[in-house]
Amino acid sequence: MKKYLMKSVVAVLLGALNGIAAGPKICFEAESAGVIEQPMAVYTNGVAGASGPYLEIPEGVGNPPKRNEGKAVFTVEIPKEGAYTLWCRCWWNGECSNSFSVSLDDQPVFLFGEDATYKTWHWVKYPVSRTVKPLNLTEGKHTLTFFNREDGVRLDQILLSADKRFVPMDIEKTGVRQ
C-alpha cells in the first residue's frame, strides 16, 4: 500500500515538474537577420537541405585575427521571461570551421559550436552542459549577434527554447510556440 502511495506521489511531482519545464519556443530563419555584414552573406544554392536561404561565411575568406568583420544581428521578441537554450541549425565544413562567437544584448561574447558533426545540417545548442548558465531573457526585445570566428560555416535556422526537454528535429516551423 505504501509503495503505491509513493508511486502516485512521484507521478504527481514529475507531472508538476514537466509543467514547469515547458516554455515558449521562438524559431526564425538565419537569413532574416536585420544586419548582415560581409563576409557573412546570404546564400541559396551551395548545399542542399536548408530551410530556404541560409547565412554563410565562405571557406577561405578569413577569420579573426586576420579578418574581424562579418556578423549577423537579430532582434528577437521574447514572449515570456525565462532561462533559454539557444539552438542553431548549422553546417560545419570541418574542425577549423565549426563555431561562431555569439553575444546577447551587450553581454560578453560566448563560444557557440565546436561540436564534431561535419558536412551535414544539424542542430547545435548552447549551453552544452548544465555547468554553464543558460541565457536568462526578460520579456521583450533582445539582440542576438553572430560574429565571424571561423570561415567555412553555415547557419540556417535559430531557435530559442525555454523548454528544457525540447530538442529540435530537422527543419523547424518558424514563429512562436508555447
Which residues sit at the interface with Ca ion, rule CB under 5 A? 29, 51-52, 54, 156
Q: Which residue has the cell 537569413?
A: 31
Among residues 150 and 156, whose Cβ is nearest to Ca ion?
Answer: 156
The minimum distance between CB 68 and Ca ion, in angstroms, equals 25
C-alpha cell at 162: 525555454
- The span from the CA of 5 to the CA of 28, in Å, is 45
31 Rama sector, left if φ>0, alpha if ψ -120 to 50, beta otherwise: alpha
In this structure, the number of other CB atoms found within 10 A of the CB of residue 92 comes to 24
CA distances from 177 to 28, 130, 174 (A): 12, 24, 9
Instruction: Compute the least distance from the CB of residue 29 to Ca ion, in Å.
Output: 4
Nearer to Ca ion, 29 or 82 (CB): 29
| Preceding omega of 65 cis (within 30 degrees of 0) | yes
Residue closer to Ca ion (CB basis): 23 or 28: 28
Least separation in angstroms between residue 66's CB and Ca ion is 28
- Least spacing, CB of residue 108 vs Ca ion, in Å: 27
Judged by beta carbon, residue 151 or residue 156, the one nearer Ca ion is 156
Name the DSSP class of 19. Answer: H
Q: Minimum CB separation from Ca ion for residue 156, in Å?
A: 4
Nearer to Ca ion, 23 or 90 (CB): 90
